Amino acid sequence: MVECESPSDDSAAVARFQELLADSLAGEAICRRSGANLVCTFQLPGKRKSGQIMALGHADTVWPSGTLQSMPFRQQAGRLHGPGVLDMKAGLAFFMFATRALRELEIAVARRVILQVNSDEETGSRTSRALTEKNARASAAVLVLEPGTGLEGKLKTARKGIGDYRIKVRGVASHAGVDFEKGASAVLELANQLRRIAEFTDLQRGITVNPGVISGGSRSNVIAAEAEALVDIRIPRLRDAAPLDRKFRSLRSLDRRCSIEVTGGLNRPPMERSDGVRKLFTLARKLAKELGIDLEESATGGGSDGNFTAALGIPTLDGLGGVGEGAHAVHESILISRIPDRVALIAKLLAAI
Ligand SMILES: [Zn+2]
């Protein structure tokens, strides 16, 4: 699966990976494409099915095609390495083996089980979000196969919400030597605005605002006509979104000759640790104990498609995939010793929910 590279921006490669997955599940699940995404319905032991469990993953990775040359799939010192091995091909492989174990051991599963494999999670889930939400609404629980936290493999029971804002400033261009007073610098105006925007961060409440990209101006001897900034926001609670949005929308230019245009907003709502999430974690913890694992939970500032399902109020448990480190980094790897207990935990959850 790792050797079948699948960068988000190469739809043919992502589709090839989804086909590989569907082929591997032949005879065990019926897989259908829905747009660029894949939904597999499993045939598991147990007579009457009531309700549904949805497992959620993504086929795409952040690694461009050809990464395998410098970062080959390999086994070394108790780990598996390679692009996308942790985020999140391990999780998909684990799910495949968990459902296979349930079939082979004839362990009854009371609910219908589906696996949705999105094509665009790493780039914001624009084409998959509606499908994720539709399938989640029909589910009693959502199991997200993203990596666990840290080398302990903590589950994720809270994720921050994520948004993007674009701040575009228009000024008045003029010759920096001949007509200095006639110009109104968009670059200077943006710099002043960024000072205000940085103050929107409230670390105590977990709200962060990061102007990550700025651009503007054309030459040093021209007073800049345009400048813009791209700003990433993270919020732990949905109720933080509106007040923060109001702050962005109320930015006014200090130099009246400049204008400011603010676009953007929340992209992923936060996954809040609701009662439903807490109950699901308590169950997972109990099942892990039977495997001799002391399972812990964690909160993260990173988002996943679990943000969408949790925001609908559907109990969602995230981080059930690989245990390792280095997602999106060259040392991306999973611990081989933690594969069996992870697969067993997923299987136990499917049988218990
Ligand atoms: Zn991921």
> pLDDT (tens digit, 9 = 90+) per residue, 82-121?
999 999 999 999 999 999 999 999 999 999 999 999 999 9
Give start and end residues of each alpha helix (H) in 154-304.
Answer: 186-198, 241-249, 275-290
Q: What's the confidence (pLDDT) of residue 190?
A: 98
| 93 CA distance to ligand 1 middle (Å) | 14
| 320 CA distance to ligand 1 middle (Å) | 11
The residue whose two tokens read 């095609």 is: 65
| 277 CA distance to ligand 1 middle (Å) | 19
> Could you give the CA distance from residue 302 to residue 240 in angstroms, rounded to a whole number?
17
Report the phi/psi class of residue 270: left, alpha or beta, with left for phi > 0 and alpha for psi in -120 to 50: beta
pTM of this structure? 0.91
With 0-12 CB in 10 A as exposed, 13-18 as middle and 19+ as buried, what is 194?
middle
| 147 CA distance to ligand 1 middle (Å) | 7
- Averaged pLDDT of the chain: 97
> Could you give the CA distance from residue 265 to residue 280 in angstroms, rounded to a whole number?
30
Token pair of 269, please? 């709502």
Q: What's the confidence (pLDDT) of residue 37?
A: 98
Q: What's the confidence (pLDDT) of residue 248?
A: 98
| 319 CA distance to ligand 1 middle (Å) | 9
pLDDT per residue over 264-295, tens digit each? Answer: 999 999 999 999 999 999 999 999 999 999 99
> Could you give the CA distance from residue 273 to residue 342 in angstroms, rounded to a whole number?
22
Q: Which residues 6+ apart lie within 8 Å of 30 measured at CB? A: 40, 41, 43
One digit per residue, the tens of pLDDT, for the chain of length 353 reads 999 999 999 999 999 999 999 999 999 999 999 999 999 999 999 988 999 999 999 999 999 999 999 999 999 999 999 999 999 999 999 999 999 999 999 999 999 999 999 999 999 999 999 999 999 999 999 999 999 999 999 999 999 999 999 999 999 999 999 999 999 999 999 999 999 999 999 999 999 999 999 999 999 999 999 999 999 999 999 999 999 999 999 999 999 999 999 999 999 999 999 999 999 999 999 999 999 999 999 999 999 999 999 999 999 999 999 999 999 999 999 999 999 999 999 999 999 99
Q: What's the confidence (pLDDT) of residue 210?
A: 97
| 58 CA distance to ligand 1 middle (Å) | 7
| 122 CA distance to ligand 1 middle (Å) | 7
Q: What's the confidence (pLDDT) of residue 154?
A: 98
Q: Which residues surround ligand 1, an ion (CB under 5 A)?
A: 87-88, 146
